[in-house]
Copies of this chain bind each other. A is one copy, B any other.
Amino acid sequence: MADILKGGPVAAALSEELKTRAEKLKEAGTVPTLAILRVGERPDDISYENGAMKRCDKIGVAVKRFLLPGDCTKQQLLDTICEINGDSSIHGCLMFRPLPDKAMEDAACALLASEKDVDGMTAGSLASVFTGKGAGFPPCTAQACIELLDHYGVTLTGKRAVVIGRSLVIGKPVAMMLQKRNATITMCHTRTVDMPGVCREAEIVIAAAGKAGIVDKSFVAPGQVVVDVGINVDENGKLCGDVSFDEVEPAVAAITPVPGGVGAVTTAVLAKHVIEAAEKIQK
């Protein structure tokens, strides 16, 4: 029986700490404030937005919403980003992605001020994840993996960590963050030969392939910690991760569930990044 590394307690502990920091900022005259920029009415976006607003409210982070119609023009979107960049009362901006128009999304990402980029969408933020210096923040989901491992006392220094997936939203940044914490990282992807064998060498497996259940028991070994970042819908319409939980769970030391694992930590990380952005300005 593996330890089930639930996200709820991580988010709760993080929220407690953040409440105090938000309080301090307010005492000094700053209300940490998040801009949420949503284009259209995608149910996933709205559901995440509601969760983020609740979390921010609990912690003491104000939210300003910027809602644009699904058929807004590029100029409207860029004007909104300019407004957010120029509004000194806003410390961070979450823009839901992907946008239907990729060129529009790229232009928006290029325009957002890196210091307000609390979800790793700008080149500046990604450069700072890679180089370890500069403005911006890593993507919240990548940071959530690290927060979760830290919360449950998983040592990273010297550990072998395999990351499955090489996206800019999660695979690449989480690998760099694990490396910064002195893990020895290996990155798997669709062209990896013998992925199960590569994964079995690791002490920590981060599954971020975005494919339901591809990590089966052939991928894991006794003693491993498995972090499942996937959020997929299975053939029965049920939420599931990248890991075949039922067959992997008995074979490893610890595993995050889906739902209720990494995903449950992301909104607290979002609030953390907004508070950090506000603290940086105050200094």
Main secondary structure of the interface of A (DSSP, over half): mixed
Task: Tell me the complex Cα distance, A127–B132, Å.
Answer: 11
Q: Are B184 and A188 closer than 8 Å at their CB atoms?
A: yes
The docked-state distance in angstroms from the alpha carbon of A191 to that of B126 is 24
A2 within 8 A of B: no
Interfacial chain B residues near A188, Cβ < 8 Å = 184
Can you name 15 A-B residue pairings with CB atoms under 8 Å? A123-B134, A126-B130, A126-B131, A157-B191, A158-B191, A158-B192, A160-B193, A160-B198, A179-B187, A182-B191, A184-B186, A185-B186, A185-B187, A186-B187, A201-B201
Extra contacts, 9 of them, besides A123-B134, A130-B176, A158-B192 (Cβ < 8 A), are A126-B131, A131-B168, A166-B179, A179-B189, A182-B191, A184-B186, A184-B188, A184-B189, A184-B191
Residues of A within 8 A of B (CB): 123-124, 126-131, 134, 157-160, 166, 168, 172, 176, 179, 182, 184-189, 191-193, 198, 201
